[in-house]
Amino acid sequence: MGRTPCCDKQLGLKRGPWTPEEDKVLVDYIQANGHGSWRSLPKLAGLQRCGKSCRLRWANYLRPDIKRGPFTEDEQKSIIQLHGIVGNKWSAIAAQLPGRTDNEIKNFWNTHLKKRLQRMGINPDTCSPSPPTTNSSTSASTTTSSTWRNGRALALKLRLASTSALVTLAPTMNVSMSTYSSEYGTPPWAKRSAEPGRPTMKRRRRALQ
DNA sequence: AAACTTGCCAACCGCCCCTGT
DNA sequence: GACAGGGGCGGTTGGCAAGTT
């Protein structure tokens, strides 16, 4: 229904890593004109990229308000707590961490936090102590890819359920509604989506080049 | 020093939702 | 109400650097 073929399928569009020249073209264009329609942006800016790629590059890397550098202890705690509540809703988590991108948080979770929790004997999916993997589908925090296949539907449900959802989910993480609100402000599911364009940590490899 | 393995992360892919017609 | 276009999201992948053998 209404789904268009990915713009990436167009012939002649460049893919892969962005060059500094492309970055500059994109930044200059957006700063001068705003991004407007992402689909038409590449043509207007003179980029051989699809709009989706431009949006991702801007959101994850080029935006000026991106916070670079390692995650602080507080940020890590926040990620763990929020993940226990909303699961793999990276955009919702990112919305609570100014300057961090969903992609960055997702990568950090998968490469650092998940392993750390596992080493501590904590199930990263449920944030509960060393649960025997029972495949219980009743846990709202069960975040395997299959369970969260329709993650956006869940996000919608959370938004609709509003506070009651938090009341249901919070016990998993020992986070009460008042605690959550005071610490993080508006719950992520109360927002339509994450704040667009939270760019990414600079790439270590590139920095070394 | 070379070969191999592991860790990391930017970018891609495909799905779904929202909005306008 | 149905459809189409566009944007956003989460999962996955590819490639490079660092570490190990």
Covered bases, chain B (protein CB within 7 Å): 7-19
> Which of the residue ranges A1-15, A61-75, A78-92, A147-161 would you say has the lowest mean pLDDT?
A147-161
pLDDT confidence bin for A197, thresholds 50/70/90: very low
* b/e A199-208 (16+ beta carbons within 10 angstroms → b): bbbeeeeeee
The C-alpha angle A122, A91, A33, rounded to 5 degrees, equals 155
Same structural domain for residues A54 and A34?
A: yes
The C-alpha angle A100, A106, A108, rounded to 5 degrees, equals 80
Q: Using the predicted structure, report yes or no on whether residue A157 has a pLDDT greater than 80.
A: no
How many other β-carbons are positioned within 10 Å of the β-carbon of residue A196? 12
How many other β-carbons are positioned within 10 Å of the β-carbon of residue A18? 18
pLDDT confidence bin for A130, thresholds 50/70/90: low
pLDDT confidence bin for A127, thresholds 50/70/90: low
Across A18-22, A112-116, A183-187, the highest mean pLDDT is recorded for A18-22
Q: What is the tally of structural domains in chain A? A: 2
CA of A209 to C1' of C10 (A): 31
Same structural domain for residues A133 and A155?
A: yes
Closest CA to A199 of A26, A32, A45: A26
In window 120-149 of A, residues with CB < 7 A from nucleic chain B are: none
Same structural domain for residues A50 and A81?
A: no
Q: Is A73 helix (H, G, I), strand (E, B) or coil?
A: helix
Q: Using the predicted structure, report yes or no on whether residue A26 has a pLDDT greater than 60.
A: yes
In window 86-115 of A, residues with CB < 7 A from nucleic chain C are: 88-92, 102-103, 106-107, 110
Same structural domain for residues A107 and A181?
A: yes
